[in-house]
Chain A
Amino acid sequence: MSDFATVLTDQIGDSDVTHDQFITVSRCFFYDFDGYPTRLWDGQGILRTGDGSDWIGTVDSGGNDYHSVPNVDDEREGTSQDYTFSIPHIDETTFEALQSDRSLVNGRNLTCYLAIHQSGEGLRPGSPLRFDYRLEMMGAQFGRSMDLSGGTMTRAYSASVLAKPIGHGRSLVPGGTYTDTSQKLRAQAMGLDGDSGCGYVSSNSTRRIKYP
C-alpha cells in the first residue's frame, strides 16, 4: 500500500468508528508545458511538496478559486470527453513562450495529484502526493486583456487548455489499405526494414474453406 493510502486509512480509522472524521485532501494540478512546468493547487498560498516543488494556490481571500477545472470522468466507461481547464492568470514569460510555440503544449501531459493534509503540517504535506488522473493536452487558447483604471495599466494573460484522456482515439478505424505493398511502405515510412504482416492477405481474398 502506498504511503498516501496508509495515511488515509489511518485517518479514517476502524470501520466501527462513527464520530466525525476529518481528512483534508486537496487537488494539485501539474501542467507539463515543455520548459515551463506550471503547478497549481486549490488552496491559498504556496504548497511545498516533498519532491521540492512549489504549487501556487489559486484561491483568493474571498474564497474564489480562479482555476477552473471540469469534472473529469473515468474514461474506462468508454468515452473520452473534451475537458477545458482555464488558468485566468498566467505569467508573461510562460504566456509568450507557449503562444509562440504550440509544441510546448500539444501532446504534453496534464496530471492531477491529491495531497493529504494532516494537522500541524501547515503547507508542507509530509505524505507523498497520490496520482489521481492524467490527461493529454490537445491545445491551448491564449488570451490577453488590458485594464486601464486609475492611471495604472494592468495586463492579464490567461490560458484555456483543452485536454482529453490518454486513451482517446483508440476506437478510431485505422483507415489504411491491407495489402502487402502498403504495409511494407508504412514500415519504411516508420524507418523499419519491412513488415510481412500482410503477406498472406492476397491469398485470403478468394479462398475456399472446406468444412468437414
Chain B
Amino acid sequence: MTYTVTVHEWPDVLIPSSQTFKAGGQSIQGGVTAGGTLVSHPEPGGRASLQQKFDIFTSHDENVEASWVMSKILNSSVFRVPIWAYSVQLVRAEDLGASHTMEFPGPIAKGEELLSNDWAFNPRADVTAAALSGTTSVEADLSPWGRILRRGHVIGFYDSDSGYDFAHMVEAVSYDAADTATITVSPPLRRDLTTSSKMKFRPKMMATCSNAREVAGLYSVGRHVQFSQVSWAEALV
C-alpha cells in the first residue's frame, strides 16, 4: 500500500501583504583550516522556506477560510502554497506580456471553493533539456519573452505524475543566442524533468507550517482575525 500525502490547497483569498522565499540550505560546521579559522560551509541539497505576513482579514470569505487554515496548519498538514504574484521575487507581469488584473481572485460564490487552477495567470516556458531529480541545472526556452529571468527570481515546476508543485530560487542564469536559458536552481530538482515539462513563472510549493502555534490569532468581536508571520518549510514529498 503506498502512502500518499493529503495536500490542502491554500485558499486563494488569503493574500499575504509581505513575503520572502529563501532556499539556501543549512550551514554545516566544518573544521579548522590551515589558516586558523573555524569554518562552516553549505550543506548539499537543503530545503526551501517561505515567510509570509498577513494583514487583518476584512471580508467574510477571508475570515472563514482563515478559520479552516488555523486548524489545518497545527497538525503539520501539507499545503500547496502559491508564491504570491506581486513580489519582486517573481518575474514581473509586464515582462511576461500581461497586466496585473489577472493575478487576483474575485469574490467566492456561496458554497464554492475558488482554486487558482481555473482563473489565474499561469505563464510557462518550455524546458528544452531533460534533467534528473537531485540535479541543479535546468534549460528553458525564454525566446517568447526575451532575457527576463535573473538570479534572485523564483520559478517552479508542476509534476503531473505526483500532482506536486515545486518552487526553486534561480541562483545563476546564462543565455545563448536563441534566448535559451541555462538556470542553476536551489534547492535541487525534486522530480525528473523531460522536454515536455514546463517551467512556471507563478510557482507554488508544497510546504508545512513550522510555527503553527504562533500563527493563529483571536477573532476580534468574533469577526476579524489576523495571522502572525507564517513560516513555511518545504515538505519533501
Enumerate B13-30 residues with CB–CB distance to A below 8 Å.
Answer: 25-26, 28, 30
Known contacts A21-B33, A62-B210, A124-B132; A45/B45 CB under 8 A: yes
Q: Report chain A residues within 8 Å CB of B33.
A: 18-21
Quote the shortest CB–CB distance from A117 to chain B (angstroms): 4
Q: Identify the closest chain A residue to B49 (Cβ).
A: A61
Residues of B within 8 A of A122 (CB): 44-45, 134-136, 188-189
Closest 9 CB pairs of A and B: A122-B188, A61-B233, A123-B134, A122-B136, A117-B44, A22-B41, A124-B134, A45-B45, A18-B35
B188: chain A residues at CB < 8 Å are: 45, 122-124
Q: Point out which of A43, A45, A57 has the most chain B C-beta atoms below 10 A from its C-beta.
A: A45
Q: How far is the CA of A63 from the CA of B49 in the complex (A)?
A: 13
A202 located at the interface, meaning its Cβ lies under 8 Å from any Cβ of chain B in the complex: no
Complex interface: chain B residues within 8 A of A149 (CB): 75
Interface check B234, CB cutoff 8 A? yes
Q: Report the bound CA distance from A46 to B192 in whole Å.
A: 13
Whether the pair A48, B34 counts as a contact (CB closer than 8 A) is: no
Contact B35 A123 (CB under 8 A): no
Q: Does B214 contact A (CB under 8 A)?
A: no
The contact sample of 21 A-B pairs, CB cut-off 8 A, is: A22-B39, A22-B41, A24-B42, A24-B43, A43-B45, A45-B46, A45-B134, A45-B187, A45-B188, A46-B133, A47-B44, A61-B47, A61-B49, A61-B208, A61-B233, A62-B210, A120-B137, A122-B45, A123-B44, A123-B45, A124-B132
Number of A-B contacts (CB under 8 A): 87
SS of A interface (majority): loop
Asked if residues B47 and A45 are in contact (CB atoms below 8 Å), the reply is yes
Residues of A within 8 A of B (CB): 17-22, 24, 26, 43-48, 57, 61-63, 117, 120-125, 149-150, 152
B37 at the interface (CB under 8 A from A): yes
A17 engages B34 (CB within 8 Å): yes
Q: Known contacts A57-B236, A120-B184; is A150 also within 8 Å of B43 by CB?
A: no
Residues in chain B within 8 A of chain A (CB atoms): 25-26, 28, 30, 33-35, 37, 39, 41-47, 49, 74-75, 132-137, 184, 187-190, 208, 210, 233-234, 236
> In the docked arrangement, what's the CA distance between A124 and B208, Å?
25
Taking a contact as CB atoms under 8 Å apart, the answer to whether A24 and B41 are in contact is yes
Chain A residues whose C-beta falls within 8 Å of the C-beta of B233 in the assembled complex: 61
Give Cα A209 to B188, complex, Å. Answer: 77
Other than the known A18-B33, A26-B44, A122-B136, what 19 A-B pairs have Cβ atoms closer than 8 Å?
A: A22-B39, A22-B41, A22-B42, A43-B43, A43-B44, A43-B45, A44-B43, A44-B236, A45-B190, A46-B134, A47-B134, A48-B132, A48-B133, A61-B47, A117-B44, A120-B184, A122-B135, A123-B134, A152-B75
Q: How far is the CA of A117 from the CA of B46 in the complex (A)?
A: 13
**Chain A residues closer than 8 Å to B41, beta-carbon distance:** 22, 24
C-alpha spacing A47/B136, complex, angstroms: 13
Please give the distance in Å from A19's CB to the nearest CB on chain B. 6
Contact residues in B for A125 (Cβ distance below 8 Å): 44
Instruction: Kindly list chain A residues whose C-beta atoms are within 8 Å of the C-beta of B47.
Output: 44-45, 61
Nearest CB to that of B3 among chain A residues?
A91
Query: CA–CA, A22 to B39, complex, Å?
Result: 8
Contacts of B136 in A (CB 8 A): 120-122
* Nearest CB of A to B123, in Å: 26
CA distance A19 to B74 in the complex (A): 46
**Alpha-carbon distance A49/B74, docked complex (angstroms):** 36
Q: How far apart are the CA atoms of A61 and B236 in the complex, in Å?
A: 10
User: Which residues of chain A are near B210, meaning CB under 8 Å?
Assistant: 61-62
